Structure 1
Amino acid sequence: MLDFLWNNGILRLLYTSVGIQWIGCAAAVFFKTEKFYDLTGSATFILVSHLAYESSLMTRRQSVQGWLVFGWACRLGSFLFLRIMKDGEDKRFDKAKESPAIMFKFWTLQGIWVFITLLPTLLLNSERRNPPIGTRDYIGWGLWTLGFILEVVADAQKSMFKNNPENKGKFISSGLWSVSRHPNYFGEMVLWFGLYISSSSVFSGLQYLSVLSPIFVSFLISKLSGIPLLEAAALKKWGDNPAYKHYIENTPVLIPFIKT
């Protein structure tokens, strides 16, 4: 049993992911800063994905998957890092910075999040079968492209809105934000479902259970660390604003054009 836990290639990637976070956590606790938390997470995505690819057959499918993960991680990591450097803080860490135990929890959870999110890609890279590129691959890559574009455009629109001095103290309700209150998060969910679908073209048996990856991402976004926190903060800030009340009454929370 111990031999399996140590020598299993997939589990070693989990240990690597969590281990990197523990190193980052030690530095973050020492300097009492959260500024490189998201950047470290994105770098871990790149490293763990690359390590899995290095031991793969390096097929066309595996190469495309690797580049898609790399592109997403570079874009999001740099975006979040530049944002926190500009803002000066991440309010999620207001209490955590003063508590090494809470910081340890945050960083450990990030390592587990990276691993679970990457699981379909890791299984794809561990697979020795290489069926021809087919419909499922193109559907998955297409969904990744759609999700990535939605996320990038939504983030860019919000950044431009916030950088305009005339919009100080206002909420964005234009562009993609006119059809969804969280279009960037919707894009994030779509792209990870896309990567699962493309990976599944080589799956068999229990490997299909790695659908846990996009489901886990969607759960985090919609129920835990994403939408609930932002919705509560927005309601606290603009809850008495009639325009904001009209916006939330007429704009879907997540899926564009579809109110739930």
Structure 2
Amino acid sequence: MTTLQIPLLLAELPDMIMGSTLAKCAVTDLGIQWAGWALAAAFKTEKFYDLAGSGTFILLAHLSCIWGGAGHIRQKVQTGLVTTWGLRLGTFLFMRILKDGHDRRFNKVRDSPGTFFVYWTIQAVWVFMTLLPTLMLNSEKREVPLGTRDYIGWTVWGLGFATEAIADQQKWLFKRDPDNAGKFIQSGLWACSRHPNYFGEILQWSGLWLSASSVMQGPQYLSVASPLFVWFMLRYVSGIPILEQQAVKNWGSEPAFQDYVRNTPLLWPWPKF
């Protein structure tokens, strides 16, 4: 490379970076979440927070497929599975918050625009990190024949999807029953894990990474950070810690709850015989 070529390369670098599918998806992701924050802060509401998140997952999966320009069968299946996940979970969470009227995660947040901005920005990071293997897959022009990893990955995704959907439905029906007012659920999948819906969530993204890894090379395998990130966030940040704290506050003094905690795993399930 000559001295004259270096300035030309540096001048073209921003266009090269912004021309990549990953970069365009990252910018789109941030733009949607920050626009969502502006509306949410103006109206002091969190009611469309989860809906915006799941909608962004779906949008980026399809945009990455379009921008990637290949459209192989693996990419179409992966995009379809992300869409199915997003439609189900997004609709469920939106209906739940409409029924409850609020989300306890935002009790001390919705009136503070600065803190609210952090939450929406974290959601942008959540979307991008979780979806990273799919974005990499959809950016890949190389076609690799479907193989064992794909079928195992899609099976793991299916198991996770069923687990999460069934667990959510069981808890929804339990809370709708007036006889269960003030009680905690410990039946169905909730007898095998105190958070079976989160177990299903982790399985789904693990399965999608496994399928996407069929076309990965070198540093791309580091995208295994996606299911690990989902596990870490649910286990230690935004999911389980908040719910466990609330459960202890509500039922911590009850012997039945103490027995449930002692005999039921926190996340990774096992059946009771």
Give yes or no for the alignment of 1:39 onto 2:29.
no
Give runs of aligned pairs for residues 1-260 of structure 1, distance below 5 A: 1-56=13-68, 57-257=70-270
Name which one, 1 or 2, has greater alpha-carbon Rg.
2
| Distance of 2:161 and 2:150 partners within structure 1 | 16
CA distance in 1, matches of 2:97, 2:145: 43
Number of residues of Structure 1 aligned to a counterpart in Structure 2? 259
On the 8 A contact 1:252/1:258 being kept in 2, the answer is no
Q: CA deviation at 1:155?
A: 0.3
Instruction: Work out the CA distance in 2 between the residues paired with 1:48 and 1:215.
Output: 20
Inter-partner Cα distance in structure 1 for 2:102 and 2:219: 42
> Partner amino acid for 1:37?
Y
TM-superposed deviation, 1:4? 4.3
Shift of 1:8: 2.7
**Separation in structure 1 between the aligned mates of residue 88 and residue 123 of structure 2, nearest angstrom:** 18
| d(CA) in 1 for partners of 2:164, 2:243 | 16
How many Å apart are 1:109 and its aligned residue?
Answer: 0.9
Give me the whole-angstrom Cα distance separating, in 2, the residues matched to 1:63 and 1:7: 22
- Unaligned 5+ runs, structure 1: none
Shift of 1:11: 1.3
Amino acid at match of 1:105: V
Q: Secondary structure at the match of 1:98?
A: coil
Structural RMSD (CA): 1.2
* TM-score in terms of structure 1 length: 0.97
2:202, 2:230 within 8 Å by CA — same for their partners in 1? yes
Q: Displacement of 1:91 after TM fit?
A: 1.0
Q: Distance in 2 between matches of 1:141 and 1:221?
A: 22
Runs of at least 4 residues of structure 1 off by over 3 A?
Answer: 1-5
Aligned AA for 2:86?
A: A
Q: What whole-Å deviation, never above 9, does each CA across 1:107-130 have from its counterpart, x for those lacking one?
A: 111111101110000000111111
- Secondary structure of 1:97's counterpart equals coil
